[in-house]
Amino acid sequence: MRTADFAIGIGGAAGQGIATPGNILAHIFARRGLHINAYNAYQSLIRGGHTFLTIRASDGPVYSMGDRLDLLIPLNQDTMDRHLKLLGPGASVLYDGESIEVGDAEKGVQVASLPMKELSQGNKLAANTVAIAAAVYKLGIEFEALENALAQIFARKGDEVVAKNVEIASNGYQYAAENFKPFSFKAPRGEKPLAVWTGNEATAMGGIAAGVKFYAAYPMSPATGVLMYMAKHARELGIMVRQVEDEIGVMNMIIGAAHTGVRAMTATSGGGLALMTEAIGMSGMFETPIVCVNVQRGGPATGLPTKTEQGDLWMMLGAGQGDFPRLIVAPSDHIDMFRTMPELFNLTDKYQCPGLVLSELIIGEGTVSVDPAEIDFDVDIERGETIFPNGDSENPYGGYGDSTYLRYRNTSSGISPRAVPGVPGHLFVASTDEHDEDGTLISDVDTDPKKRRMMVEKRARKMMNVLADIAAPTLEGPEDAEVTLVGWGSTRGVILEAMEQLAEGGITANQLHIKWLVPFHAEAVTEILEGSKKVIIVELNYSGQFARYLRSETGFTADGFVRKYDGEPFMPHHIAEAVKEQLTGKESLSVPVHEISV
């Protein structure tokens, strides 16, 4: 339950220092125990263009950047022109009156001009510090909180830099106290201080909790944050981290490391995954467990390097030619991502197949608060039927009356005991060609149809029991709702907030959120959807990729669709308004228009 809920937008050109004030505010709000959700809409430019950071805070859970702005801080004229019209009564705009002209603000909007040159002591880069100080005053937050945040943010630059920023911030805070009205609400305090993390950091930490000892990647937006976190902590955690020349080399290194028995992973985006797909097939043929995270961005080709989308589902479904088992999961948020990584590693070890994770820019680069108590690194590690050199050197898995170790033995479960290199008495061939039970090639000189069929079916049998190991989706919200909203990946949180808006308007809605995509709980999903009054699928792509996948797995066709593919995430009102429209029967497909970040 939220008793206070407010959002601040900070905009300017790349190079004007948008990230720093965002970090300062995130630090202040989280230390007060407030829940935050921050989204940075930026372009792939070093300087210029338009960057707009929205940071929303509340004393209750927040799942998206929200629908409105209470405070706008434009650091250039372009931002003022784009976003002033979106402010409503009770909102404020803080700006440099000496370099930015204010437009026609809606009645009830407080227009607050700051003499930036004077307050920042002529330091252009410190203009955002002045604006943040004024914002902190208007939110009813004591100056000490800002002072502590500045000390932490600028600590690595030395005491002199910290002191200068505190002095400039004091100027801005005092000026605001003497000239501006505070908001009618004050930023409250939560139950206890919270921490702040990005989804990429959560992904890396989840891999660390799972016992990853080898990480390789090629830097690709928006997945680079995983590589940066791993590299930063590699030495202290005993992890080998490699930045590789391309994604083809990355996946081959990951498979090579996993083949030796260590847990290995990588993270990339759609273009990088496209280069990895043949090697992912090699993982399937080797039956070697690896984990690959795809932090989706807008495609195709280079597409939108800094924008979010859910456009890679079908590429993940078909990554690597031919038929072979794989696990595909789409966590819904940061803490879900952290908890899913160890679970996925355990499953890939058990079923000896690749595990693929669908993340998105809005998750990977989004910043949220988290209770440190929820970040539990003490997780169960299960390696399945893996034989290590320091284990039993006898061969308990010899086949068919002899002592030969059969790496790919044709078992009833499809899972064959996996010996890592170096185990005495467990020699075998690992080949990308189709092979016999001991690894002998059967696809070069003598293709054996019976053995080929046996090996395909053996690998496929591994998927028979996976559903029992993963949780089936369940409805969130009232069972007898007027409409059931179906989503996957990042849409869970924003759908929950849309449900709140619909409830305020007298419309009951619930949500069926799909996390595990392969294998798919077809029976459970079909039962729920066939019992729903009206089903609307919400996703961030043009073609309705999940709607098509749902139909292929269940035969079920939804009543309506809400799709967005402009590179920006859903806002709650996008979904709520689309549902209202579709409940009247006028439309079955809604494509919301984004406003805040255009």
3-class SS letters over 501-517: HHHHCCCCEEEEEECEE
How far apart CA 538 and CA 458 sit, in angstroms, is 37
Pair 32, 189: CB distance under 8 Å: yes
Tell me the pTM: 0.95
pLDDT at 402: 46
Report pLDDT for 403.
61
Amino acid letter at 11? G
Structural domains present in the chain: 5-193 (3.40.920.10), 197-374 (3.40.50.970), 475-590 (3.40.50.920)
Q: Which two tokens stand for residue 517?
A: 């995509």
Among candidate residues 241, 469, 461, 251, the one with its CA nearest the CA of residue 346: 469
Integer Rg of the chain from CA? 27
The answer for residues whose C-beta is within 8 angstroms of residue 475's C-beta and 6 or more apart is 484, 510, 511, 512, 528
Determine how many CB atoms are found less than 10 A away from the CB of residue 231.
16
Token pair belonging to 335: 């803490």
User: How far apart, in whole angstroms, are the C-alpha atoms of residue 523 and residue 461?
Assistant: 19
User: 70 with 83: CB under 8 angstroms?
Assistant: no
Place of tokens 């299960």: 382
Using a 10 angstrom Cβ sphere, with 0-12 exposed, 13-18 middle and 19 or more buried, the burial of residue 265 is: buried
pLDDT of residue 443: 75
Distance CA 230, CA 208 (A): 8
The one-letter code for the residue type at 204 is A
Q: Which residues contact 347 (CB under 8 A, 6 or more apart)?
A: 327, 355, 466, 469, 470
DSSP state, 246? Answer: S
Helix (H) or strand (E) holding 53: strand 48-58
**Residue 398: what pLDDT?**
44
Write phi, then psi, for 14 (nearest 5 degrees): -55, 135
How deeply is 469 buried, as exposed, middle or buried, from its count of CB atoms within 10 A (0-12, 13-18, 19+)? middle
Per-residue pLDDT tens listing for the chain (598 residues): 788 899 999 999 887 778 888 999 999 999 999 999 999 998 887 777 899 999 999 999 999 999 999 999 999 999 999 999 989 999 999 999 999 999 889 999 999 999 999 999 988 878 899 999 999 999 999 999 999 999 999 998 999 999 999 999 999 999 999 999 999 999 999 999 999 999 999 999 999 999 999 999 999 999 999 999 999 999 999 999 999 999 999 999 999 999 999 999 999 999 999 999 999 999 999 999 999 999 999 999 999 999 999 999 999 999 999 999 999 999 999 999 999 999 999 999 999 999 999 999 999 999 999 999 999 999 999 999 999 987 544 444 444 334 689 999 999 999 999 999 999 989 999 989 999 999 989 876 667 889 999 999 999 999 999 999 999 999 999 999 999 999 999 999 999 999 999 999 999 999 999 999 999 999 999 999 999 999 999 999 999 999 999 999 999 999 999 999 999 999 999 999 999 999 999 899 999 988 753 3
